[in-house]
Amino acid sequence: MGDGWRDVTTYFDIETLLKSDAWREFTYITPCTDFIASGYDHRRKRVAQPETWDALLKDRDGADSGAEVRMMIVPYKQEKATGDLTTEDGRLMQPWHAAPGHEVIENPRLAAPDQDLKGEVRITARRGKRAIPVQTGMSEKESWKALKGRKGGFAPEDWMPYHNDMADAVGWIYGGWGRRAHLADQALSS
């Protein structure tokens, strides 16, 4: 399913969303487990999830604030699904966690019990009770012409892209198309 480039980028898309302030709750749906389970991560920056993202959010919003990150998997083979939670279209899903694939390749004992399970993954994040979603509006008073002409476009001044090089960036662009095509195919064939 994954091609190695978008896998790592999807992981950092999710992490960047979690670190941003412009949301109270979101669900990120990815059609496969490769964003965490693939063996490709040349920078070796991925870590076990959702525990690490959950801790990140609790550190930010407070341990008793109600902030949480959960990861659910909708197995491709529904007969392997356990539990009674269902998606909007009735497919079974269950809690899931995984270690990064590059670590599992080096030490198979690190694998989570359901590490090899394949399916659609849903990451649901909820900010704490007192968290205030903020959209900075940094550019709301600039003209469209000024925005288009600004070096770096709409990115904040100190922002560094999380893709490693042009191959990562191109993989992200085409990976996004592949992901949308896969989700559209699933929706039309169900």
Q: Where do the structural domains in the chain lie, given as residue ranges?
A: 5-157+164-189
Which pLDDT score is estimated for 4?
42
Beta-sheet pairing, 92-95 with 119-126: unpaired
Which pLDDT score is estimated for 63?
94
**Nearest CA among 101, 123, 127 for reference residue 48:** 101
- Kindly state the tokens that stand for 68: 């949480």
Asked if 21 and 133 count as a contact pair (C-beta separation under 8 A), the reply is yes
List the pLDDT tens digit at each of the 190 positions of the chain: 444 446 777 888 888 889 888 789 999 999 988 888 887 766 677 888 999 999 999 999 999 999 999 999 999 999 988 888 999 999 999 999 988 877 887 888 877 778 788 999 999 999 999 888 876 666 666 776 776 677 666 666 676 665 555 655 565 555 566 666 777 777 787 6
- What pTM value is reported for the model? 0.68
Which pLDDT score is estimated for 164?
56
Which pLDDT score is estimated for 154?
60
Whole-Å CA distances, 134 to 21, 121, 131, 170: 5, 27, 9, 30
Which pLDDT score is estimated for 189?
77
Which pLDDT score is estimated for 116?
82
User: Strand pairing partners for 123?
Assistant: 28, 71
Give me the phi and psi of 97, to 5 degrees please: -140, 155
Which pLDDT score is estimated for 169?
59
Which pLDDT score is estimated for 139?
60
Which pLDDT score is estimated for 135?
65
Which pLDDT score is estimated for 55?
96
